[in-house]
Structure 1
């Protein structure tokens, strides 16, 4: 009885630890996007943009190889430099990356299980929404999806996947700053756009056949 209680308490604490880790990661990502720490945000934005531009111009294998080669050049040079300094000063500081080598970076099974559970929830929601839209459970929503897909055909003709990722990266890091500076104007225009969209959809819905309206109301 005591063993089962202790095991349940340990699993509960590990679940709390994994959930807190996920919350910390989400909080850190939001901090980067909202530029709470400008140096870290600028570094993350510059590095991500550099990687995406490199992938757009070079192959993925070349980009990964160059990144690892650059990292190895820095770490090997620093290791040799510290070894020479220690030999000259006759100090015994040890490995310069010891604090990083001793850090535990293993992923717990509880964290993986929690991520899998969350992914399954989103996958089930996506499957249900896809079936609902493709089988026209709601005609208006299916028409919305058709309009979005029609626009995306033009987007795909102009941009490739990597270019869209580059634009998304720029939008993610610049939109919060612009929104903070012009919050009132942006909210006003968003509200006007929402009202006009709802008005257009209402007019479209009013023009639907009566049978479709009755089915939607039911």
Structure 2
């Protein structure tokens, strides 16, 4: 299952990925103007009109002896999407563990079990109020869908350049955190550390 999802994300099958990506984006865009019930029912109607037309067309071809009579969607009908008892139990356990761990983390943040972590969450919640004023949940979902189908492929194609850029950013962030850490301890920011091992130490006159 994981390999098939990765194949879709990395556009291994252009046709299926294109259909899935287009369907998700169009469906989410439709929710801006229509209710979810209208969108789902309309999609079902369009899909059934297409499948019934194709099914009748193949049946007519078989009646005229111009076709082999094979069901046009037989591959999709035979595709097994059921879960065994073991897999269902595994996914249920993971869902329960994730739900309770999320609830426990939110409880510790809201009830200030750790002051620093709660302050970080406070800042994040404050920033999210601005995000909510600019965009809504549907916009974020559309951006998320586009990101899922574009960022992994872009990263695979530009892996070396992106890794070098991220390493440089992490280095700058580490230097800034080190300066703030020294200031909080009452010291001076000090000199930048020599990134190369065995670097020459500054001479004191």
TM-score using structure 1 length: 0.71
- Does the 8 Å contact 2:59/2:69 carry over to 1? no
Size of the alignment, in residue pairs?
A: 185
CA distance in structure 1 between the aligned counterparts of 2:129 and 2:3, rounded to whole angstroms: 35
Which of the numbers 173, 184, 194 marks the counterpart of 1:207? 184
CA offsets 1:76-95 (integer angstroms, 9 cap, x no match): 11122122222222978365
Structure with the bigger percentage of helix: 1
1:120 maps to 96
* Partner SS, residue 149 of structure 2: helix
Gaps of 5+ in 2: 187-205
The aligned residue for residue 56 of structure 2 is 80
Q: Could you say which residue in structure 2 is the equivalent of 1:65?
A: 41
Residue 153 of structure 2 is matched in structure 1 by 177
Q: What's the CA shift string for 1:99-152, capped at 9, x where partnerless? A: 655665544333322111011221232123223322333333223222222221
Unaligned ranges ≥5, structure 1: 1-24, 210-218
Q: CA RMSD in A?
A: 2.9
> Do the aligned residues in 2 keep the contact of 1:52 with 1:166 (CA within 8 Å)?
yes
Deviation at 1:164, TM superposition (A): 0.6
Instruction: For CA contacts below 8 A with separation 6 or more, give which structure has more relative contact order.
Output: 1
Q: Is the 8 A contact 1:52 1:162 kept in 2?
A: yes
Task: Say whether residues 1:41 and 2:13 are aligned partners.
Answer: no
Instruction: Tell me the CA shift for residue 190 of structure 1.
Output: 2.2
How is 1:16-35 mapped onto 2 (pairs within 5 angstroms)?
A: 25-35=1-11
Deviating more after overlay: 110-119 vs 189-198? 189-198
1:110 aligns with 2:86: yes
For the residue of structure 1 that corresponds to 2:55, the secondary structure is helix
Give the equivalent residue in structure 1 for 2:191.
none
